[in-house]
A and B are shown apart, each in its own frame.
Chain A
Amino acid sequence: MPGPVTVFSAKKIITMDSAVEEATHVAVRDGIILEVGTLDDCAAWGPYTLNDQFAGSILIPGLIESHAHLLDGLLWAKAAYVGAIDRRDPSGKLCKGVNNIPALIGRLKEIEARMPDATTPLVGWGVDPSLNDPIVPITRHDLDEVSKTRPIFLLHASCHIAYVNSPTLALANYAAIKAPGVLRDASGAPTGELQEVAAMMAAIKAVAADMIGGSTDATQFFNFARVAQARGTTTIVDGGGSTYFEPAFLKAALAATAAPDFPARIHAHNNGITVPTADDMIKFAAMLEGKGNDKLAFGGLKILVDGSNQGFTGRLRPPGYLGSGANGLWNRAPDELKELVPALHKAGLQVVAHCNADQAAEAFIDAVAIAQDQKPRFDHRHFMVHGQLLDESLLRRMTALGIHATLFSNHMYYWGDFHRSHTFGAFRAAAMNPAATALRLGMVVAAHSDTPVSPVDPLLTMWCAANRISASGRVLGAKERVSAYDALKMMTFNAAFLLHRDHEIGSIRVGKRADFAVLGHDPLAVDPTAIKDIPVRATILGGRVFPVAD
């Protein structure tokens, strides 16, 4: 027995479907779109309830965050955000960025003053001195100003560095730890900066033990979805680091997402990051296939090829990193990719490959070429994540082989200036994330935030792709800017396509899921530089309204 019909009215409905591009009403039944057109068009389906709470707003397809990490939700649950970038917490409260050391100390003092006892460690996340002005190291002396008795532990936005105060160094007995990542001052005393896990381990064990090991805390799932939903996201990818193949973790994920008030769909990639071999990857992917629910689905198998560009660990073709000519690191050897990718391809899986710099991209493309040679497959939708230094040659090889991409457009804003002056230099900074060329060549392109690396906010990502403006206001590679329409398509239909979900989400069309974002302004009509400031009033997920606090 079909359920009741609800008709939502809007000032304008942007469908992102070329058959009917605009409408004023959409009829929904049982979570599925029944009709799109005028109120009369909708009435043709019989009795309905009119919901006109968004009559003055713009309805667009629910936005899709095509690459993010559940870790974001865990960080909000376990630590205080003290980074340089403005972020909204899961309750919607704005955490203003602190981009210099005195401001950081001030923020930490406020947090410290609210803590109920004198001994609980103060754990923070999101710190990134490369975004500070001036760029200077954070030391234990700075953090000792906050407290000389309470242990403090701050995690860098990259999660590869920690900053600690003297009580943490004493508690974790750093006098006896000689790891090279423990930075030291001229006197040989630790500065408080701990680089990489070997150096951080003792401090993590002493003061932040709940940051490691597969947490099954339900809050992480809610936080992850809530932060994204507040900016219009109805589907968010969990990009492959989670361990859904562990029964306890899967049970927690299913329980959290099954709640009627769970505010977004999670699309989880299968884990090819911590799972070492193709056989196990294929086994786990088969085990999880169809194991989800209405708001949790599994698809794609995520592998890591290189590191991160701002961390100087992306694999670059010559001439390497600006100045030094150095190169980054491989997470999977190119020779291993030549066997791993064909094995996954043959097993019918979709390969999702993290390739930050161009040499990593080239190695992955080589591997897909071998796979296609051994077993040609149409519509496999393998796609590259980040692809920040793709050029026309690589893009053409990708389109020939059927590889698509989600680009890291947020880098243009947050790290554009840093890349220009520290990592890539002028030309390559302007050439980053070439969405316009990729679209022109027929590739299906999306863009992403990679949260917690940068904040999840698809309208901001759309703005980055359309404007390519760095934090200092410099336009990087003007010809690679895309139109607002193309940018919106990247964050909706194209992202759905990459997830093999374009038949059910990504546009407003009869028969698809009723997933919408409700905006205060028309993203196709405002000046493109204003897209990131458009307020999100609500999301509608399977016909259910999820409000956004003002």
Chain B
Amino acid sequence: MVDFPERGGRGRLPLTVIGGYLGAGKTTLLNRLLTQTHGVRLAVLVNDFGSVNVDADLIANRDGETIRLTNGCVCCSIGDDLAFTLHDLADRADGPDHIVVEASGVAEPNRLAGYAASHPRLALDGIVVVADAETVRTRADDKYVGDLIRLQLASADVIALSKTDLIDAEACRRVRRWIEGEVPRARILEAAQAGHFTEFLFSGRTQPPRPACEGAEDHRRIFATWTFTREQPLDGAALRATIAALPPAVIRAKGFVSLAEAPGRRFVLQLVGSRWSLEPEEAGTAPAALSLGRSVVVCIGLADQLDTAQLATLFAPTSPSVFPPAVAALLRGEKSP
């Protein structure tokens, strides 16, 4: 069994940006994130402190524009200066495990995402843009904010489609198709099912994947995971090509991999929606049980869309072949060069 570490310690502090236009449903999502049980000490930075609506019995204490919850989460106002607030959280010894920043309704989330690079500990985990299924298409043609709405959608790693319960299934399909046309390779989740959103945000932290062998496992109705394991180092170029080609159904992936090109080192793969990185591991973050040379990649996606056979095919070329490249290509059914 592979246990992924739960706490970042003094290492990487992931930051998620939640954007979307006014009234899209950001606050509803944030309120859920704050109060659900997910075992992550979360700091949520909001624009409008007054809109935070948390049951009184979940509040441990309240100090000005900061609420501490009994589950270890903190919610505070962004204040005048986001950078200042973020640096303060990153510098604290008792800081959070994960930061979620609410972008204002008129913010371009990419600009905020830049703040994740303003401190050595902070790392952008992903940009989630909430879109109102009922109004997003009309808004995208609005003379005042149409360009902004399109910009926000385009900057999303994952689009959370809200208020799908207010429209019928056909209208919902139409808006999804429209978004897919506007934002190629868009990863779309329905925020009405956002009860499971925390799992998406923090998966890989709080839900260590069980299977040590390849295979899909339906341990939630919405999400399914598929794990790829190899005992031999992978071909870096092939792995990068595979990751870039992953279907939109894969909304999150995480892994520790060994690459043939860099023996003796280990790399960390992070994928949130269309954003991914493959970077050398910080010392001591990999599970102790994971032997060097071994690679484990967990893909998480929507249960009804995740095509595990397709994933297996996509990952197949990442193992360096024992045959010369030309022969390996022939074996894969490609024409010889």
A residues at B contact (CB < 8 Å) = 173, 176-182, 196-199, 201-202, 205, 212, 274, 276-277, 279, 315, 327, 329-336, 359, 362-363
Write out the residue numbers on chain A whose beta carbons fall within 8 Å of the beta carbon of B111. 196, 198
Q: In whole angstroms, how far apart are the Cα atoms of A198 and B114 in the complex?
A: 6
With A205-B87, A330-B148, A335-B145 as contacts: A178 and B105 at CB distance below 8 Å: no
**B121 nearest CB neighbor, chain A only:** A176
Does chain A have a CB within 8 A of B48?
Answer: yes
Q: What are the 6 closest A-B residue pairs judged by CB atoms, nearest first?
A: A176-B120, A201-B83, A178-B117, A179-B117, A330-B106, A334-B144
Verify B22–A199 contact, CB threshold 8 A.
Answer: no
**B79 nearest CB neighbor, chain A only:** A274
**B49 nearest CB neighbor, chain A only:** A276
Q: In whole angstroms, how far apart are the Cα atoms of A327 and B143 in the complex?
A: 12
Write out the residue numbers on chain B whose beta carbons fall within 8 Å of the beta carbon of A180. 114, 117
* Residues 277-335 (chain B) with a chain A CB within 8 angstroms: none
Partner of A277, one of B22, B50, B145: B50
Verify A335–B23 contact, CB threshold 8 A.
Answer: yes
Does chain A have a CB within 8 A of B21?
Answer: yes
Q: In whole angstroms, how far apart are the Cα atoms of A329 and B48 in the complex?
A: 20
With A333-B105, A334-B144, A336-B22 as contacts: A198 and B118 at CB distance below 8 Å: yes
**A359 nearest CB neighbor, chain B only:** B144
**Nearest Cβ in chain B — how far from A368, in angstroms?**
15
Q: In whole angstroms, how far apart are the Cα atoms of A266 and B105 in the complex?
A: 34
Partner of A329, one of B47, B106, B120: B106
30 pairs across A/B with beta carbons < 8 Å? A176-B120, A177-B117, A177-B119, A179-B114, A179-B115, A180-B114, A180-B117, A181-B114, A197-B115, A198-B82, A198-B83, A198-B111, A198-B114, A198-B115, A201-B83, A202-B118, A212-B84, A276-B47, A276-B48, A315-B144, A329-B106, A330-B144, A330-B145, A331-B106, A332-B106, A334-B145, A335-B21, A335-B23, A335-B145, A336-B22
Write out the residue numbers on chain B whose beta carbons fall within 8 Å of the beta carbon of A182. 117
**Nearest Cβ in chain B — how far from A198, in angstroms?**
4
**Nearest Cβ in chain A — how far from B294, in angstroms?**
29
Write out the residue numbers on chain B whose beta carbons fall within 8 Å of the beta carbon of A198. 82-83, 111, 114-115, 117-118
* Residues 92-121 (chain B) with a chain A CB within 8 angstroms: 105-106, 108, 111, 114-115, 117-120
Does chain A have a CB within 8 A of B80?
Answer: yes
**Nearest Cβ in chain B — how far from A196, in angstroms?**
7
Chain A proximity mask over B3-27: 1 for CB below 8 Å, otherwise 0: 0000000000000000001110000
B residues at A contact (CB < 8 Å) = 21-23, 47-48, 50, 80-84, 87, 105-106, 108, 111, 114-115, 117-120, 143-145, 147-148
Chain B interface SS verdict (over half)? loop
**Nearest Cβ in chain B — how far from A359, in angstroms?**
7
Q: In whole angstroms, how far apart are the Cα atoms of A331 and B106 in the complex?
A: 7
Write out the residue numbers on chain B whose beta carbons fall within 8 Å of the beta carbon of A336. 22, 105-106
Write out the residue numbers on chain B whose beta carbons fall within 8 Å of the beta carbon of A205. 87
**Nearest Cβ in chain A — how far from B134, in angstroms?**
14
Write out the residue numbers on chain A whose beta carbons fall within 8 Å of the beta carbon of B106. 329-333, 336
Verify A333–B87 contact, CB threshold 8 A.
Answer: no
With A196-B114, A201-B83, A201-B87 as contacts: A333 and B145 at CB distance below 8 Å: yes
Verify A333–B22 contact, CB threshold 8 A.
Answer: yes
Q: In whole angstroms, how far apart are the Cα atoms of A146 and B266 in the complex?
A: 44
Write out the residue numbers on chain B whose beta carbons fall within 8 Å of the beta carbon of A315. 144
**B78 nearest CB neighbor, chain A only:** A276
Q: In whole angstroms, how far apart are the Cα atoms of A335 and B87 in the complex?
A: 32
**B108 nearest CB neighbor, chain A only:** A329
**Nearest Cβ in chain B — how far from A304, in angstroms?**
11
Write out the residue numbers on chain B whose beta carbons fall within 8 Å of the beta carbon of A330. 106, 144-145, 148
Write out the residue numbers on chain B whose beta carbons fall within 8 Å of the beta carbon of A196. 111, 114
With A177-B117, A330-B148 as contacts: A201 and B48 at CB distance below 8 Å: no
**Nearest Cβ in chain A — how far from B140, in angstroms?**
14
Q: In whole angstroms, how far apart are the Cα atoms of A179 and B114 in the complex?
A: 5
**Nearest Cβ in chain B — how far from A180, in angstroms?**
5
Q: In whole angstroms, how far apart are the Cα atoms of A277 and B47 in the complex?
A: 10
Besides A176-B120, A179-B115, A329-B148, 4 more A-B contacts (Cβ < 8 Å) are A177-B120, A198-B117, A201-B84, A212-B81
Best-surrounded residue of B21, B50, B106, B147 (most CB of chain A within 10 A): B106
Write out the residue numbers on chain B whose beta carbons fall within 8 Å of the beta carbon of A177. 117-120
Write out the residue numbers on chain A whose beta carbons fall within 8 Å of the beta carbon of B80. 274
Q: In whole angstroms, how far apart are the Cα atoms of A397 and B82 in the complex?
A: 38
**Nearest Cβ in chain B — how far from A210, in angstroms?**
14
Write out the residue numbers on chain A whose beta carbons fall within 8 Å of the beta carbon of B48. 276-277
Q: In whole angstroms, how far apart are the Cα atoms of A548 and B82 in the complex?
A: 42
**Nearest Cβ in chain A — how far from B48, in angstroms?**
5
**B77 nearest CB neighbor, chain A only:** A276
Q: In whole angstroms, how far apart are the Cα atoms of A202 and B90 in the complex?
A: 13
Write out the residue numbers on chain B whose beta carbons fall within 8 Å of the beta carbon of A327. 147
**Nearest Cβ in chain B — how far from A153, in angstroms?**
15
**A336 nearest CB neighbor, chain B only:** B22
